[in-house]
Structure 1
């Protein structure tokens, strides 16, 4: 059969166009490769901090918009359930890539295997710039975080309410704390104002920012651990818990503290409904941006048990961000950490009043924060960094819960303390026997020697 030239030319043209299409269109596998090259690497960052949330959000947003590595960070802000939520995330194989660690959590997270060492990423410059703090950012010769800022702890008080009650100075003893709370309540109760409060929705959080520091300035370990004997001994907390119970019993404590979280407490204080409470230096930034204060307020040194300072007010810090051991994007996480630990970011962090830098290169150039109330939080002759106590998995009710139960329901506080000592030391002995912790007596330990090293 004879094929016409016209038909032959048409077939040839179609074949030619098909080959062009084949050359110009990617195969399915090529399409996937191109798509992958443009896909973002998504990582999550979990933090329990809320005092600096706006600053951190803005900083993360800037990183997401400007980084050249196509990395996108999702910021997740948790509440006082941060530790429990993190535990659950590892059980469900959905942990965050970057974790905010603190001086009272990093040791636990390290022991649970949550954290990845960062030594392979560190440059020599970073190693020189950021101090190593054993058991605070490094363990067994490996680093797991770098310091940013430290926090001091103070008594925060409503100056206007103090003046109304005729009180000229903040309390310096527990007896004065009880009496001051009572006087403040007497002049404020008609308007719904009470003398004292703490965020007892989480007893560990409440006591961690109150009873702990009162014990420390009085010469006792803030977590019930005696470094001199290497044993747990909660007896130093007896007068502190008794004072808190008196404030609760005489009606000088804000009603409903059993369900009071820290942010609602701050909101109430900003409105003038709380006379005083104890907390961290982060409060200065809180009352400038998060909950603008409608009252005149200030911060003062915390009271000791009897007015004598026999120890040091805990200057807390030494760590900030860490990378999850389960992260599938460790390099991306490190690039984010590198951005967050840039000197300009850390300098802004101090100057905006979110914390007091523990990085010498930053503290040397950062200006004093222009934040109301910050002067009362700056390190003084009473502030100091305590050693890290050996955290142990005690059986039964924890010390903070036991003390808060006593505040609410009463009982025999001596028996409660004896029971805590027995159970905590049993847990300590078991942890030592299993090689989980080391605890040796420090015969020459003197809490007074810790104080004053960070005072300007």
Structure 2
């Protein structure tokens, strides 16, 4: 009997242990429901290179993730100045994002590479009427690929305190004044670690795209070296601009280490009072409001021209914002996310928080002027205008921005450098025209001055 009892107890223990283990390993009905809900979510990724608006975008995406009724979850991925290269790699490895931030200088390239999908099938008549169609900026070959949100003006951003310390009353209006102003600021600020000028030369394309480009544009030259009147590349107009930059580098007026300076570290240094001037977009107003709260008194002014004469227009950039990846397996979910992001209430907040100046008429009509320090200097003026889109070409050898930056650092024969750029870029243009990749025809009556003032308030 004792033996039977022992066997019975042992069997019962085994059953209890087995039941206990099963309970530990099997999810409750509540957990099963939770797992099922997680597995049914449609997850999409949004890649952007923008950082000036990152906190705001994070907030609105969090709200979308929590409130949308389609069980869509968006992952925000913020890339740095290597955005284009990272996107190229993502398509090569078959792991691209679902939604892509496109800009006026990238959307044409992404379109040609087949990275973005047309959105016409999703567009209602109301959307078509509300959002301006801009050929070669958000529309290609009769199809739309993006919708506008905001435009950005380009300005000289300067430290008013360092200007006053150096006895400078007005921002520079010519290249000579730019060089001289940077030198004076450096002379009075060097002991405290402040220098006259800086630009984010870790990425020469980004740096010159914020600076040399717009100086050329207000002086009457295409900001990317393309002459719309002749339909040829001609970088001659950049000669005096690049020479001025080299002078500031050579005389020690530039912040030490600009060769490895990225845009956010530059902003951080400016906010601390270590940089007298730099050139950039209107997004900077929002940056110094939230991302890098400025500890100095600063302002924005029209960019200097080569000789003080304004013969063109300061590029008012925009016309696009979000696009859907051609490789996305969740295009409908991506469109629902775009519909949310393009809601008027969000676009209105975007302007009112100082992240950009709306290019959507229904939004600009009701949006209040941003209550952001420094925004006044960025509002559209009589010199701002939208330039035509230049043809992008696959040039062989060193690109113009890299060639100009190398000259800034090492010197050389700038005339020869410019002649070489003209030769190689026009050879690439001729090849692209011959293959049908681009169209480039002379605009005999093109006058850059006619572009200015279109968006002035």
TM-score (norm 1): 0.92
- SS of the residue aligned with 1:436? coil
Q: Distance in 1 between the 2:367 and 2:419 partners? A: 48
Q: Does 1:75 align with 2:76?
A: yes
Deviation at 1:37, TM superposition (A): 9.3
- 1:23-102 mapped onto 2 (5 Å cutoff): 35=36, 39-102=40-103
Q: Distance in 1 between the 2:144 and 2:450 partners? A: 27
Change (3 A) 1:35 1:164: same
User: Which runs of at least 4 in structure 1 moved beyond 4 Å after TM superposition?
Assistant: none
Deviations 1:145-181, CA, capped at 9 Å, x for gaps = 0000000000000000000000000000000000000
Q: Distance in 1 between the 2:164 and 2:258 partners? A: 25
Q: Distance in 2 between the 1:275 and 1:436 partners? A: 43
Deviation at 1:316, TM superposition (A): 0.1
- SS of the residue aligned with 1:269? helix
Matched with 2:396 is 395
- 1:55-454 mapped onto 2 (5 Å cutoff): 55-454=56-455
Change (3 A) 1:251 1:124: same
- SS of the residue aligned with 1:229? coil
Deviation at 1:36, TM superposition (A): 7.6
Aligned length: 425
Deviations 1:61-86, CA, capped at 9 Å, x for gaps = 00000000000000000000000000
Q: Distance in 1 between the 2:364 and 2:136 partners? A: 23
Compare 35-44 and 442-451 and name the one that shifted more.
Answer: 35-44
Deviation at 1:102, TM superposition (A): 0.1
Deviations 1:18-64, CA, capped at 9 Å, x for gaps = xxxxxxxxxxxxx99x9489610000000000000000000000000
Deviation at 1:122, TM superposition (A): 0.7
- 1:11-30 mapped onto 2 (5 Å cutoff): none
- SS of the residue aligned with 1:155? strand
- List alignment gaps of at least 5 residues for structure 1: 1-30
Deviations 1:114-166, CA, capped at 9 Å, x for gaps = 00000000111100000000000000000000000000000000000000000
Q: Distance in 2 between the 1:157 and 1:450 partners? A: 26
Q: Distance in 1 between the 2:125 and 2:65 partners? A: 27
Change (3 A) 1:403 1:37: closer
Provide the alpha-carbon RMSD of the alignment: 1.1
Q: Distance in 2 between the 1:61 and 1:97 partners? A: 17
Q: Distance in 1 between the 2:215 and 2:433 partners? A: 29
Deviations 1:309-362, CA, capped at 9 Å, x for gaps = 000000000000000000000000000000000000000000000000000000
Deviations 1:259-313, CA, capped at 9 Å, x for gaps = 0000000000000000000000000000000000000000000000000000000
- SS of the residue aligned with 2:355? coil
Q: Distance in 2 between the 1:296 and 1:280 partners? A: 18
Q: Distance in 1 between the 2:367 and 2:171 partners? A: 30
- SS of the residue aligned with 1:379? coil
Matched with 2:20 is none
Q: Distance in 2 between the 1:139 and 1:37 partners? A: 38
Q: Distance in 1 between the 2:125 and 2:333 partners? A: 20
- SS of the residue aligned with 1:43? strand
